[in-house]
A and B are shown apart, each in its own frame.
Chain A
Amino acid sequence: DTVLTQSPALAVSPGERVTISCRASESVSTGMHWYQQKPGQQPKLLIYGASNLESGVPARFSGSGSGTDFTLTIDPVEADDTATYFCQQSWNDPYTFGAGTKLELK
C-alpha cells in the first residue's frame, strides 16, 4: 500500500504562513487530496487533484506538488484553522490517508 507520511504537529501564530507536507512512498501523480478535520466533526474536503481548491473553501488554502511530494499551504493562518489536516491519495489501490498533521495556533 502507498504510505503517506505527514509531520505530526505544527504550531503557528495567526497571520503567519504555514506549509503542511505529505510525502508518498511511491508516485501518486497528482492524485492527492487534502481534508480538514476539527474535533468532533467529519473531515471536510479542501483541495483535490493536488492543487484544485474545493468550492467554498477560502483562497487562503492552496495545494501543490506531484509525484511523491505535496504541500498544503495556509496563508494567512486564522484562529479557525485549528484542526488536523489529512492528505489522501487515490492514484494507487487501495486509497490511503496520511496520519494527519495537527495544527495549533500560538
Chain B
Amino acid sequence: NAGVTQTPKFQVLKTGQSMTLQCAQDMNHEYMSWYRQDPGMGLRLIHYSVGAGITDQGEVPNGYNVSRSTTEDFPLRLLSAAPSQTSVYFCAAGGRTDTQYFGPGTRLTVL
C-alpha cells in the first residue's frame, strides 16, 4: 500500500513549456486535490475532484488543468509554464471526514 505517489520528484522547465505532474493513489479515496506551496507559505488549493469525471477549481486554478478519468489518478497539467509557477506541488487523497493523505511533493522550477 503506497498511499499517494507523485512523479517526478523534481522538474526544471523553461518558460512556455508544458508538462504533466502525475499523482496516483491506491487507497480508493473519492476525493483528490492539488496544492501548491511557495517558500515559507501555506498550501493553496489549485484544483480538486470528488470522484472520477468530476473536477472543480480551487483558489489558484489559472494556468493549470486537471482531469479525473479513474479513481486512482489525478494528473495536473501546466499549459504554458511561467516563473510564477515555481513551487512545490502536493497531491492529496482523502476520505469523507476530511482526513487527507499527502504525497511527497514535486519541486518545480520554471526558468
Asked if A and B are interacting partners, one says no
* B contact set with A: CB distance below 8 Å: none
- On A, residues with C-beta under 8 Å from B are none
